[in-house]
Structure 1
Amino acid sequence: MDTLAENCIECGKCTDICKFLGSTGKTPANIAKQGVEVNEAFSCSLCGACEAVCPQGLSPKAMFASRRNEAVAKGELDIDEYRYLFPDRKNNVMNVFRSYYGIDYRDIENVSSGGTWFFPGCTLLTYSPELTREVYRRLQNDCNCQGIWTECCSKPLLQMGLQQRAETMQAGLREFVQKHNITRLITACPGCYYQMKSVFESCNVTVQTVYEVLKIEPLKRTDKIKCTIHDACPDRFELKFASQVRQALEQSGFSIIEMKHSKEQAICCGSGGQISHFNPELTEKLVEQRMNEVKLSGADILVGYCLSCVLKFDVFSSPIPVTHALHLLLDQNKEFTGAKARVAKMLTGADGEKIWEQIMAEDR
């Protein structure tokens, strides 16, 4: 905080690009000097757009993330109210969703040990199971993939300020890799990719994206469909997914039209930092802002390479069709459509109340 208070020149670049910072009426220097309020900490999407545009190389995001940790540690926020999100709990909402709808990977989870494994990420394996299996099938052929790992990367715990739980989960991830002699992980989610690179930094494990491994055959197209791409925040500084997805789409005959904010200056979809749970009103404003840029792009399709982003736009009715890059490139059905409505259905009525009680039950 001292660094921000002393070195922020209050140029306004971060407050211009960040709807949350702009709404506070304060600069990062003001916030650092006054102290971050708990509601401010949990309204930051932790997306890093502020850091990307700061001429001083400062990171307001880090200030808000640190304050989240402090607020949880001091009990200033009852984070346990959000335990339905905790990925290290057996009955988190995604696990229960998969159980309720019969989504199961036990036939391929532990097929073999050693070598290369596919790490799809929680959202993809939960809401796009057909695509998950298709990608795994192709990885078996393209790089001798030996197994699929249906675990979370631990990032949600870090976002919620649960540092110790995240570290415990990360230790479990490293133990699993060692037990199964895994030397390479193929990831589909940008959040998982960067998180797993950090988790396995000291281990002999290579982490790659599906786009640098899959042999994607160009689709035979006679039309020239125009795509605009929503870039995922975790990819903001390396742009690995951004460049690989654009290259794959162009090789498949699609043309790319960039929105006003893209690549390193992309705007959060409203899922970052779990703010759709902490500040749903802000989420709606972020989605509205993004949808306006989508309209102005003149594109035919909105493409994302993070399924959490794609689901957010699906829920809020994108002005043009929205899809995941892998659905488009592999010519797969968009089975994620209406996923959030299926979550709501699962939790509706008397049976839904019992399921919610099961999700929110205290851990034993």
Structure 2
Amino acid sequence: MMGEIKRILNICTECGICLEECDFLQKYCNSPKELAVNYLQDKFVNTPHIPYSCNMCTFCKSICPQGLDIGKMSLEMRQEMVQLGIGPLEQHASIKEAQEFYISDAFKVIIPSEDKNTKKIFFPGCSLSAYSPDIVIKTYEYLNEKLPGIGIMLGCCGGPAYLIGDQNTFKPISENLEYEVKKVGADQIIVACPFCYNVLKQHNPGLNPILIYTVLNEIGIPESKHESVIYNVHDPCTTRYEHEIPASVRSIIKKVGHSINEIPHSKEESHCCGMGGMVYAVDEELGKLRSKRTIDEADKDIVTYCATCRETLQGQGGHVIHVLDLIFNTELENALKMPPNTPELSTGNMKLLKKILTQEE
């Protein structure tokens, strides 16, 4: 029996604490134990979307008296369902297609440092590259000013495949990424996406991953020319237990000259933006419910440090900006009003970014 399912079956007291904060549990069960029992009975053959409807945000774990993790259980279910041929689902076809693009030559590239003595690699990831090629370029240029021996890599950590339980696709992507980074001589990868950081920390610890926000807080940021604003902060759920990262982001916001009004659910108690676990693919309305929790709590414009969170919350009526916009974007008002990118525009942005970096015609 899979590890977290076994723990939930043996330890869950069905106290109901996790249900109060989880739209997924409220919709599909009366307790995590019930969910586990139902899965063991028939592997959700007739309702395979259920394990794929969990955001896997780990909020349940943070508030459970026993530290049980329904997201981990859901991932175990997904992985077994893939092995049994039940998953991934038809609704995941676009995710698989996007994953193929992220690791294709149309986007993927690694560029060593100019002096060919590469020590670190900047890895902006898929979502930030799709959101703003300009922000990626300016961030990389600034890192080049401050850190000798830094190169850049476009590509994917394998996250989409990992989240839908497709280990056979995820593992080669993960292994190839580590091989490519080490091949150019780098001993550390600087990551822009909190989810990429989470994946790399778990599966590629030899790359010594560190988030760009920790780095920028240490090396300093360019002088700001913006007027001071009070912001709310949305912390991506993948940083829930990474106390240094939310602290670094808040330090950067203040260094830029802004101040923060904390919303009730932030840092360790942050809600998922709604996109976690690729839930939107199988249950868009459930994803929207989670997005709405954060938007409804906000009384100011929101700063986040995940491009996927930015796009998701903005798409549900939030006023959201990426923290790197505060540093490198001179048109903040336009950024706050900018709607989420269409899939076509995201793909175009990623192709454009590679073209600029490689100086292709």
TM value normalised by structure 1: 0.82
Map 1:304-315 to 2 at 5 A. 304-315=304-315
Report the residue type matching 2:166 in the other structure: L
**Identity rate, percent:** 27
Report the residue type matching 2:179 in the other structure: E
Q: Could you report, residue by residue, the CA deviation over 1:123-176 in whole angstroms, capped at 9, with x for unpaired residues?
A: 111221000000000000111253210011112111011012111111111211
Do residues 195 (structure 1) and 199 (structure 2) align? yes
Do residues 327 (structure 1) and 329 (structure 2) align? no
Equivalence for 1:213 = 215
Map 1:107-146 to 2 at 5 A. 112=116, 114-146=118-150
Match of 1:73 among 83, 107, 119: 83
Structure 2 distance, partners of 1:23, 1:81, is 20
**Cα shift at 1:216:** 0.8
Report the residue type matching 2:79 in the other structure: N
Equivalence for 1:61 = 71
Do residues 341 (structure 1) and 342 (structure 2) align? yes
190-199 or 126-135: which moved more?
190-199
Report the residue type matching 2:286 in the other structure: L
Does the aligned pair in 2 maintain the 1:139–1:145 contact within 8 Å?
no
Measured on the aligned residues, the alpha-carbon RMSD in Å equals 2.8
Do residues 42 (structure 1) and 68 (structure 2) align? no
- Seen in structure 2, the aligned counterparts of structure 1 residues 333 and 193 have a Cα distance that, compared at 3 Å, is farther
Structure 1 distance, partners of 2:136, 2:49, is 36
- Seen in structure 2, the aligned counterparts of structure 1 residues 48 and 106 have a Cα distance that, compared at 3 Å, is closer
Report the residue type matching 1:191 in the other structure: F
Equivalence for 1:355 = none
Q: Could you report, residue by residue, the CA deviation over 1:246-268 in whole angstroms, capped at 9, with x for unpaired residues?
A: 11112222221111211111111
Report the residue type matching 1:273 in the other structure: G
**Cα shift at 1:235:** 0.5
Equivalence for 1:362 = none
Structure 2 distance, partners of 1:273, 1:142, is 35
Does the aligned pair in 1 maintain the 2:273–2:294 contact within 8 Å?
yes
Equivalence for 2:162 = 158
Q: Could you report, residue by residue, the CA deviation over 1:200-231 in whole angstroms, capped at 9, with x for unpaired residues?
A: 22x3x3322212323214535664x2111111
Structure 2 distance, partners of 1:206, 1:129, is 25
| SS of residue paired to 1:75 | coil
Match of 2:235 among 231, 237, 248: 231
| SS of residue paired to 2:187 | strand
Structure 1 distance, partners of 2:109, 2:65, is 49
**Cα shift at 1:62:** 1.2
Match of 1:180 among 158, 181, 184: 184
Does the aligned pair in 2 maintain the 1:5–1:29 contact within 8 Å?
yes
Do residues 245 (structure 1) and 249 (structure 2) align? yes
Do residues 51 (structure 1) and 61 (structure 2) align? yes
- Seen in structure 2, the aligned counterparts of structure 1 residues 34 and 122 have a Cα distance that, compared at 3 Å, is same
- Seen in structure 2, the aligned counterparts of structure 1 residues 174 and 191 have a Cα distance that, compared at 3 Å, is same
Q: Could you report, residue by residue, the CA deviation over 1:279-336 in whole angstroms, capped at 9, with x for unpaired residues?
A: 1111122222221111xxx32x211100000001222221xx3100110133444687
Report the residue type matching 1:172 in the other structure: N
Structure 1 distance, partners of 2:266, 2:6, is 31
Report the residue type matching 2:7 in the other structure: T
- Seen in structure 2, the aligned counterparts of structure 1 residues 107 and 66 have a Cα distance that, compared at 3 Å, is closer
Does the aligned pair in 2 maintain the 1:241–1:305 contact within 8 Å?
no
Match of 1:278 among 270, 278, 282: 282
Do residues 3 (structure 1) and 13 (structure 2) align? no
Report the residue type matching 1:315 in the other structure: G
Number of corresponding residues: 331
Report the residue type matching 1:28 in the other structure: P
Q: Which runs of 5+ in 2 are unaligned?
A: 349-361
67-76 or 110-119: which moved more?
110-119
191-200 or 229-238: which moved more?
191-200
Structure 1 distance, partners of 2:238, 2:347, is 30
Does the aligned pair in 1 maintain the 2:234–2:304 contact within 8 Å?
yes
Do residues 293 (structure 1) and 297 (structure 2) align? yes
| SS of residue paired to 1:77 | coil
Q: Could you report, residue by residue, the CA deviation over 1:327-349 in whole angstroms, capped at 9, with x for unpaired residues?
A: 013344468733433638999xx
Structure 2 distance, partners of 1:262, 1:222, is 25
| SS of residue paired to 1:149 | strand
**Cα shift at 1:178:** 2.4
Report the residue type matching 2:285 in the other structure: E
Does the aligned pair in 2 maintain the 1:87–1:154 contact within 8 Å?
no
Does the aligned pair in 2 maintain the 1:114–1:182 contact within 8 Å?
yes
**Cα shift at 1:78:** 4.7
| SS of residue paired to 1:86 | helix
Q: Which runs of 5+ in 1 are unaligned?
A: 348-364
